[in-house]
């Protein structure tokens, strides 16, 4: 059987564009002699539509698009994901479904059984779970069609409190009783650098356990925070990955399940390279899908804004990035020259506005009220907020979307100023720890020096007071980030982290800072997700909880 695996970048709710793209690839599959063409989970409407699923017109548009796809299926079979209506009088109104279409007819509708409600997922909010199992018969073969999480009933966990078997039912175990010849899994599986290998091992484990070849079709592209990396695969019944498609871009491949396979897999890339590609894709799709063209940011001469400027230039083109240098009396001469050198290396437009007169005017206006008080973080925040006003003015005047440059370490411990350096329409590094920002800078400079070396090697500083360094207020990032990763991603308690050999006071201080700054993170822009536990949708904490764990 010749099967076309189609890995596409969809746009939520853009039914015309999605349908046109799907039909063009159905026609391509026909041209290349495929008997069956497979698309990903919720391909028709895009993943994940959230509460758009509660709007009748959204479902009506989905059904109309499905009708157009059915009409285009002459002489070929199609597996594609779409929401379908639950016609019974009980349960949720919708199913998350895979449609098996054959020669202009929907022959079978398969519903998703396991509906994830952890991390960024909230599918049980909208969908009714499947409770019955059947295979699809096509070309004298029995196809076990599953949807993403249906193969994840047994998951590895790095948290002793979390169960590896999240679900009562194992869909593939039930389907295996019907003696299928092939497993098809349509997915919307997002990228995370610390779980990317887990996905492949899970698919391989299923192929081996049930001794069945497995077709896996994922999607690519970014939907605001969530980035899909693709990597669709065909895995033999012995668990060998025979075909592996591209990462972070669209791809198309026809495989023959009966013929001897010539192995075609991707060259393995280091995690930092994948993070780089994910962030570039996240920026590009956010702008393209929102209809934005140009970006701006404050270029400080520090590592975070430097990395964001490079990523933005790669994603949008240098001609579409405009930066503002905003020195104060505390800015080192090196910071200014480093920022200028970077801007010129990238070929991006830059201007300089000295914020000191603006800051002085604020302080003068407040001096009668502040009389008799000591200078503290208030004056530092005035500088950050003055910069925030200026870059937002640039955004308003010229339509440039402001990119936020705060990293995950800073977001975690509240080392940022609301309505100042936390401004922005999109947070590029909000899920990237500071140590990985440095790793990104080295990766960016792998072939030539784009980011000036001085930006990379100088001690991190907000430059809001004389000789300020981040280490004045925070533990060294090598130590802090390890603690934060254990506390946030791995859900380890302070006691567990201390038992691993970390200084008790440092651990408790870090955990306390994370807990008390939830209100700040609640007000941040959307954060591009590259880990298994990003701030935002993926980590929901109460703002007013009294919790010291």
Cα torsion 203, 280, 438, 456 to 10°: value is 160
Catalytic residue among 112, 408, 520, 533: 112
Structure tokens at 419: 């309505």
Kind plus residue range of the DSSP H or E element containing 108? strand 106-111
Beta bridge partners of 84: 95
Asked if 181 and 143 touch (Cβ cutoff 8 Å), the reply is yes
Q: Are strands 214-217 and 233-235 parallel, antiparallel or unpaired?
A: antiparallel
Q: Where are the alpha helices (DSSP H) in 129-219?
A: 171-176, 196-210
SS3 assignment for 209-249: HHCCCEEEECCEEEECCEEEEECCEEECCCCCEEEECCECC
Is 45 among the residues known to form the active site? no
Q: For residues 208 and 301, what is the distance between their CA atoms, to the nearest angstrom?
A: 52
Catalytic residue among 21, 41, 225, 314: 41
Residue 314 phi/psi, 5° resolution?
-70, -40
Q: For residues 77 and 32, what is the distance between their CA atoms, to the nearest angstrom?
A: 14
Is 148 among the residues known to form the active site? yes
Is 411 among the residues known to form the active site? no
Catalytic residue among 148, 149, 225, 314: 148
- What's the half-sphere exposure (Cβ side, CA atoms, 13 Å) at 176? 16
Under the phi-then-psi rule, with left for phi > 0, alpha for psi from -120 to 50, and beta for the rest, what region is 100? beta
Burial class (CB in 10 A: 0-12, 13-18, 19+), 267: exposed
Q: For residues 456 and 86, what is the distance between their CA atoms, to the nearest angstrom?
A: 56
Question: What DSSP letter does each residue of 60-100 carry, written as one string?
Answer: HHHHHHHHHHHHT-TTSEEEEEEEEE--SSSS-SEEEEEEE
Q: For residues 152 and 192, what is the distance between their CA atoms, to the nearest angstrom?
A: 16
Q: Which of 174, 109, 121 is nearest to 148 (CA)?
A: 121
Kind plus residue range of the DSSP H or E element containing 19? helix 15-31
What is the SS3 assignment for 23? helix
Burial class (CB in 10 A: 0-12, 13-18, 19+), 517: middle
Cα torsion 497, 503, 508, 509 to 10°: value is -130
Q: How many CB atoms lie within 10 A of CB 320?
A: 18
Asked if 231 and 245 touch (Cβ cutoff 8 Å), the reply is yes
Question: DSSP assignment, residue 355?
Answer: -
Q: Which of 414, 412, 353, 415 is nearest to 388 (CA)?
A: 353
Active site residues: 41, 112, 148
């Amino acid at each position: 059987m010749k099967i076309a695996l189609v890995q596409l970048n969809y746009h939520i709710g853009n039914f015309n564009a999605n349908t046109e793209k799907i039909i063009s690839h159905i026609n391509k599959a026909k041209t290349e002699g495929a008997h069956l063409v497979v698309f990903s989970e919720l391909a028709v409407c895009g993943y994940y539509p959230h509460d758009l699923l509660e709007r009748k017109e959204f479902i009506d548009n989905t059904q109309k698009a499905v009708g157009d796809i059915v009409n285009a299926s002459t002489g070929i079979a199609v597996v594609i994901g779409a929401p379908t209506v639950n016609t019974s009088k009980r349960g949720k109104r919708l199913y998350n479904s895979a449609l098996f279409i054959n020669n202009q007819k929907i022959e079978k509708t398969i519903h998703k059984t396991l509906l994830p409600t952890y991390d960024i997922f909230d599918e049980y909010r909208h969908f009714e779970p499947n409770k019955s199992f059947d295979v699809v018969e096509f070309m004298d073969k029995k196809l076990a069609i599953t949807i993403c999480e249906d193969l994840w009933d047994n998951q590895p966990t790095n948290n002793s409190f979390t169960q590896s078997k999240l679900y009562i039912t194992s869909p593939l175990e039930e389907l295996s009783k019907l003696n299928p010849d092939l497993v098809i899994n349509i997915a919307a599986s997002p990228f995370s650098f610390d779980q990317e290998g887990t996905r492949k091992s899970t698919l391989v484990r299923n192929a081996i356990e049930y001794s069945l070849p497995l077709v896996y079709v994922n999607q690519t592209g970014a939907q605001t925070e969530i980035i899909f990396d693709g990597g669709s695969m065909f895995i033999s019944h012995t668990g060998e990955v025979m075909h592996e498609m591209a990462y972070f871009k669209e791809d198309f491949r026809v495989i023959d399940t009966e013929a001897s396979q010539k192995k075609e897999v991707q060259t393995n890339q280091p995690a930092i390279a994948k993070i780089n590609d994910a962030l570039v894709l996240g920026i590009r799709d956010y702008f393209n899908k929102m209809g934005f063209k140009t970006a701006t940011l404050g270029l400080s001469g520090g590592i975070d804004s430097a990395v964001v400027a490079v990523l933005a230039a790669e994603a949008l083109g240098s001609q579409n990035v405009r930066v503002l240098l905003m020195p104060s009396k505390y800015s080192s001469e090196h910071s200014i020259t480093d920022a200028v050198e970077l801007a010129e290396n990238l070929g991006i437009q830059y201007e300089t506005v000295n914020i000191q007169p603006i800051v002085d005017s604020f302080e003068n206006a407040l001096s009668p009220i502040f009389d008799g008080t000591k200078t503290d973080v208030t004056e530092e925040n005035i500088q950050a907020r003055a910069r925030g006003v200026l870059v937002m003015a640039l955004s308003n005047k010229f339509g440039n979307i402001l990119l936020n440059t705060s990293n995950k370490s800073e977001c975690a411990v509240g080392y940022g100023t609301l309505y100042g350096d936390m401004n922005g329409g999109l947070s590029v590094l909000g899920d990237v720890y500071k140590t990985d920002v440095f790793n990104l800078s080295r990766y960016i400079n792998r072939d030539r020096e784009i980011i000036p070396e001085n930006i990379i090697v100088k001690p991190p500083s907000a430059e809001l007071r004389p000789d300020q360094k981040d280490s004045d207020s925070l533990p060294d990032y090598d130590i802090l980030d390890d603690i934060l990763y254990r506390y946030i991603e791995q859900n380890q308690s302070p006691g567990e982290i201390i038992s691993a050999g970390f200084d008790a006071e440092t651990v408790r201080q870090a955990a306390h800072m994370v807990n008390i700054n939830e209100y700040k993170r609640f007000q941040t822009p959307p954060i591009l997700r590259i880990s298994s536990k990003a701030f935002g949708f993926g980590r929901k904490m109460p703002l007013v909880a009294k919790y010291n764990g």
